Chains A and B, each alone.
Chain A
Amino acid sequence: MKLPWPSAPLLCLSPALALVPVLVVVVPALHAGGLATWGDFLLGALRPSLEPAVLNAVLHGLQVTLATALLSWALSVLIGALLALISADVLWLSRGRSPWPGRALRVVLALPRSIHELIWGLLLLQVFGLHPWVAVLAIVIPYSALVARVWRDQLDSLDRRRLIALLQGGAGAHAALLTAMAPVMAPSLFSYGGYRLECALRSATLLGVFGLGGLGTELQLSLQSLRFEEFWTALWPLVLVSVALEQLLRLWRLRRGGADRFVAQRQQLWCGVGLVVTVIGSALWMQQLFPPQMGALPLQWPPLPDRAALIAAAGELSWLSLVGDTLLLTVLAAGLAIGLPPLGLLLWHRGGGTTLQSLIWTALRLLPPPLTLLLLLLANQPSLALAALALGLQNAGVLGRLLLEGLEQQPPERRIAIEATAASPAASWLYGSLSGQSHAYLAYAAYRSDVILRETVVVGLVGGTGLGWALIEALSSFHWAAIALLIAAFAGLTLVGEWLSERQRAHWLVGSSPRGTEVLLQS
């Protein structure tokens, strides 16, 4: 007999079962005192502090976060594009050379990519001390490697026949590459580049939460001291900027009409110029924000641990529970992130339901997970389940938006056809709407699970669980041998996760709708 196997729409919904174990732990641990504090927190939204000192601090923090995000974004896109080109087989083949240097570079780039920007931030903090450029570097290193990988994959998967035709016609290698590949690559460069700006804003805020300056630091300090009015003074501008950026990019995507639209060469040129101008402009902005500190960076290289120290540290760490907790945290958070948006819409997708959920997802994805976790901790005890809830909710915000956008762009005919059979509204939505999005959604969910695995470090640091927590312990005691081992373990885990998620993504994108390309590019 054939074993039951959930079909794609059910696979979108069933991860929500992760809610059961999470609630079993979290609900009994709720305490009433915290609920009153939550009330105060929510009331703070209506009366943010307008004291001049607070407003000045927030304005400065906002500028730091924006300048950090813009500078690190523009730099990582430029560096990533260059690395993508150098590591692509097609470049070496077009010059008639063996592609091994490009392949070697791809292996090298796996390391910076596998380490979360927060770990980079904390490590660079040890080397350079507290300096505004630390946050920029921390974002640029992994982002450049990520951008390089995505664009390299795109470049090498393109049809090479046009390039070969040009080369056979006697064109120079670079001219042929530019003529044959640039027009095809440009739309994906645009689409993915825009998406990375949103990510950079989120990362810049997150690094601030861990003391690297900007709005994140203001949010963290006011939340820890329970000054909710000041917290909201910092949060409202972040909400406005993030929503405005999201909407701008969304409109831009809609106007361009998707990832496969032709982009004129003049537009490509202007975007390149725009990126360089952004780098210069935001670097000057940073300099203006921190005038006394700019100059030579004070280097404090950490001592390299020797073999004996590494072996001793390996024996000290309880690997099984650390890795086990990290994986459990990933599974629970990914389950919540993937399952909650379709479950919410299945239960309430009519009337104001969609609008309300869209607002909830926006709020959740704007708040960095450590702050969500701190908020949850006001009324609960630290636990792995609570950390999973914080991480899962933020990522549900990201996935929820993707699902809603996909549903909005989907023609309604199939839902109408199912409704016409007299199916209930929920069943019509399930078969007629969610089904059409299920493959693209699962492909993106596979990618998001990989991101969640990387991000466990973020809540691990606050929630006292997994490799992230062990890492912050090691960092605070300058235990370099343990730090090296933990980073290596984390990198190994994320590379395995990346491989698994890529296989899943490829599986779900086979024969998928044109939206598949858009989804592929948002990863």
Chain B
Amino acid sequence: MLALDQVSVVGRDLPRLDAVSLVLHQGERVALLGPSGAGKSTLIAVANGSLRPDRGQVIWPRQRQGRRQRRAIGTLWQDLRLVEELSVQQNVNAGALGRRSLGWALLNLLLPLDTAACRRCLEAAGLDPGLLEQPVSRLSGGQRQRVAIARLLRQEPELLLADEPLASLDPALVDDILQRLLHQTASTVLISLHRPDLVDRFDRVVGLRAGSVCLDAVPAELSPEQLERLYRP
């Protein structure tokens, strides 16, 4: 699905990556663990193409490049990155911009477009479709998270990269959001987490520490010592 080959990021205002190699297989659900500053967000930015690595390369099957490649990757950013000035529907439709023309993008700022598709995405994200016309700036934190997921669903990605999507959530919402991310968004999923207790929901766990992969295992084979070593100061 996606391979990172000896990827390094150095000398930026970001946690560094040090010769990271990682292969994500079709249909895999991978948890990315590691202490703060280990490079999890940097790895996700490299994988979705928004950050060019200083060394190494990101390899896609069938040599997909540019927009086709980006369209297939959906990213759920830690800070969500919604467009505050627009309505819920316009934000959800922003997920479809990769398939649409500039004219459609302009029209989406004037008229409610593709309402049925947006309703479906909102319902799948667990949000009341009655909020379609609301400005995003008026929503609560949990509702905004669901709008970001609906935007992802509208993008119809093959691979989901999610950067700490559970960090600022109410404990009651964590299960619901994680369930939707794992089973409704894309066939292949990589989610960075701060919650080792949730790894049994995944097929595979990758541990990152000081910019290097120091753990790659299936959850059933993972020992508490391994997890403890990952987070040890």
Contacts and interface: CB of A to CB of B under 8 A. Distances in A.
Interface of A: 2, 4-10, 13, 413-414, 416-424, 426-428, 430-432, 435-436, 438-439, 511
Interface string B87-129: 1001000110111111001100111100000000000000000
Nearest to B94: A431
B109 A423 contact: no
24 contacts: A2-B112, A4-B111, A6-B110, A7-B87, A7-B110, A8-B86, A10-B106, A414-B83, A418-B94, A419-B70, A420-B48, A420-B49, A421-B97, A423-B94, A423-B97, A423-B98, A424-B67, A427-B97, A427-B100, A427-B105, A430-B106, A431-B83, A431-B105, A436-B85
B52 interface: no
Contacts of A432: 83
Nearest to B86: A7
A511 to B, nearest CB: 6
A5 B108 CA distance: 10
Given A9-B86, A10-B106, A422-B70, 16 more contacts: A7-B87, A413-B77, A416-B81, A417-B75, A418-B83, A420-B50, A421-B97, A422-B67, A422-B98, A424-B67, A426-B102, A427-B102, A430-B106, A431-B83, A431-B94, A435-B86
Nearest to A442: B85
A422 B90 contact: no
Interface in B114-150: 133, 137
A9 B105 CA distance: 11
A7 B137 CA distance: 14
A435 B85 CA distance: 6
A8 B94 contact: no
Contact of A439 (B49, B85, B133): B85
B74 interface: yes
Contact of B97 (A2, A6, A8, A431): A431
B175 interface: no
A343 B73 CA distance: 30
Interface of B: 48-50, 67-71, 73-75, 77, 79, 81, 83-87, 90, 94-95, 97-102, 105-106, 109-112, 133, 137, 151, 155
B105 A423 contact: yes
Contacts of B68: 422
A315 B105 CA distance: 53
B79 A421 contact: no
Contacts of A511: 137
Contacts of A426: 102, 105
A417 B109 CA distance: 18
A182 B190 CA distance: 54
B153 to A, nearest CB: 12
A279 B102 CA distance: 54
B106 A420 contact: no
Contacts of A417: 75, 77, 81
B85 A438 contact: yes
A116 to B, nearest CB: 34
Nearest to A7: B109
Given A9-B85, A422-B68, A413 B75 contact: no
A431 to B, nearest CB: 5
Contacts of A431: 83, 86, 94, 97, 105
A8 B87 CA distance: 10
A307 B110 CA distance: 53
A453 to B, nearest CB: 27
A278 B86 CA distance: 47
A360 to B, nearest CB: 23
Contact of B85 (A2, A5, A8): A8
Contacts of B110: 4-7, 10
A269 B36 CA distance: 47
A343 to B, nearest CB: 11
B17 to A, nearest CB: 18
Pairs of residues from A and B, 3 with the lowest C-beta to C-beta distance, nearest first: A422-B98, A423-B97, A417-B81
Given A420-B49, A436-B85, A430 B105 contact: yes
Interface centre among A416, A431, A439, A511 (most CB of B within 10 A): A431
Given A413-B79, A430-B105, A422 B112 contact: no
A432 B106 CA distance: 13
Contact of B81 (A6, A10, A413): A413
Given A416-B50, A426-B102, A435-B83, A421 B112 contact: no
Question: Which one of A419, A420, A430 has the greatest number of beta carbons of chain B within 10 Å?
Answer: A420
Nearest to B69: A422
Given A4-B111, A430-B106, A431-B94, A421 B71 contact: yes
Best-buried of A419, A427, A436, A511 by chain B (most CB within 10 Å) = A427
Contacts of A7: 85-87, 90, 109-110
A424 B81 contact: no
A5 B110 CA distance: 6
